[in-house]
Structure 1
Amino acid sequence: MALTSKISLYNSQWPFQFSAEAERIAECFNSELSRIHHVGSTAVPDLAAKPEIDLLVEVSEHQNEAIRDAAMRDLGYIRGSNLSEGHHFFRRDVGGIRTHKVHICVIGHWQIERMIRFRDLLRADPVIRQQYQDLKLRLEANNREGIGEYLAQKAPFIDALMGIQDLNPATTPSG
């Protein structure tokens, strides 16, 4: 079973695609918007990735969800299941291909710090970046069950890195 899209070499256009999409979706959040971050593999130069732009939206609170969901729907997004309490998820596909994922978390949600810290670690450490890329390519090549299998098999690598970082705050890269 295929992943949501095929892993490809780093594309220097990804940061520009993030900026354009961040500007496009910002109006969906009105006064609750705090910041929009580029996270995920497309936010890491020199890292192969599924060409799906991950946006992490920090909001002061989840307010007017029905209005926000309708505005996101008007932009081509489908709301997925909440990934955890206070962590809402949207996806956008164009022509049957996943192009964007939006994570919406209330300021202070534990996933915000984790996603940014992981991104910054990959940006800062070429050895870890290469190990992660090798893992992703191997998982894609051996994937039989789709995106759920792929994500589940990546999780131990990420959890181990984040656990090491949690134990040694001095090694946490600054953003």
Structure 2
Amino acid sequence: MALTSKISLYNPQWPLAFAAERERIAPGFADDLLAIHHVGSTAVPGLAAKPEIDVLLVVARHRDEVLREAFMATLGYVRGSDLSVGHQFYRRDVQGVRTHKVHVCLVGHGQIQRMLGFRDLLRTDVELRQRYQELKLQLEASNRDGIGEYLARKAPFIDGVMDSQQA
């Protein structure tokens, strides 16, 4: 089983793709929307990544979920399983290739600080960014069972980095 897309060198168009998607998504969350962030590897200049734009929406509350899901469908998104209580997930594929992921988190959700914190560390720490890139390329090369395996094998690295920030 393949990954949702192949890791490629950093593309300076990724922030522009995020900005365009931010404009498309924002109207569907209206007054509940508190912030929209570019997260994930495509948000880190110089980092090789799967060319999938990760978007983090911080919302005051989850409401009108049927309407929001219908709105997101008009943009080509499919609702995935909630990743945890208060953390909804949408994905968009184009011709069978994942292009975007949207995380919708309630304000105060722990994943917000985790995603932003890891992104910011990668942006500022060249050595950490290089180690993470090497790990990602190694995991891609050895992957046999798809995205679930890839994510599970990246998690200990991310956990270790984030735990060291708490100490």
Identity rate, percent: 66
Once residues 28 and 94 of structure 1 are traced to their aligned partners in structure 2, the CA distance between those partners, rounded to angstroms, is: 21
What's the offset of the Cα at 1:141? 0.2
Once residues 117 and 75 of structure 1 are traced to their aligned partners in structure 2, the CA distance between those partners, rounded to angstroms, is: 28
What's the offset of the Cα at 1:99? 0.3
The residue aligned with 1:65 is 65
Once residues 30 and 43 of structure 2 are traced to their aligned partners in structure 1, the CA distance between those partners, rounded to angstroms, is: 25
Counterparts of 1:21-40 in structure 2, within 5 Å, are 21-40=21-40
The residue aligned with 2:105 is 105
After the TM superposition, which parts of structure 1 deviate over 3 Å for at least 4 consecutive aligned residues?
Answer: none
Instruction: Report the TM-score when normalising by structure 2.
Output: 0.99
Once residues 26 and 102 of structure 1 are traced to their aligned partners in structure 2, the CA distance between those partners, rounded to angstroms, is: 12
The residue aligned with 2:44 is 44
The residue aligned with 1:154 is 154
What's the offset of the Cα at 1:121? 0.2
2:9 maps to amino acid = L
Once residues 129 and 30 of structure 2 are traced to their aligned partners in structure 1, the CA distance between those partners, rounded to angstroms, is: 36
What are the ranges of 5 or more consecutive residues in structure 1 without an aligned counterpart?
168-175
Instruction: Report the TM-score when normalising by structure 1.
Output: 0.95
Once residues 27 and 78 of structure 1 are traced to their aligned partners in structure 2, the CA distance between those partners, rounded to angstroms, is: 17
What's the offset of the Cα at 1:113? 0.4
Once residues 51 and 166 of structure 2 are traced to their aligned partners in structure 1, the CA distance between those partners, rounded to angstroms, is: 29
Residues 33-86 of structure 1, C-alpha deviations (whole Å, 9 max, x = no match):
111000000000000000000000000000111100000011100000000100
Once residues 166 and 12 of structure 1 are traced to their aligned partners in structure 2, the CA distance between those partners, rounded to angstroms, is: 31
| Number of equivalent positions | 167
2:158 maps to amino acid = I
1:86 maps to amino acid = G
The answer as to 2:138 corresponding to 1:138 is: yes
Once residues 120 and 98 of structure 1 are traced to their aligned partners in structure 2, the CA distance between those partners, rounded to angstroms, is: 24
What are the ranges of 5 or more consecutive residues in structure 2 without an aligned counterpart?
none
Counterparts of 1:118-129 in structure 2, within 5 Å, are 118-129=118-129
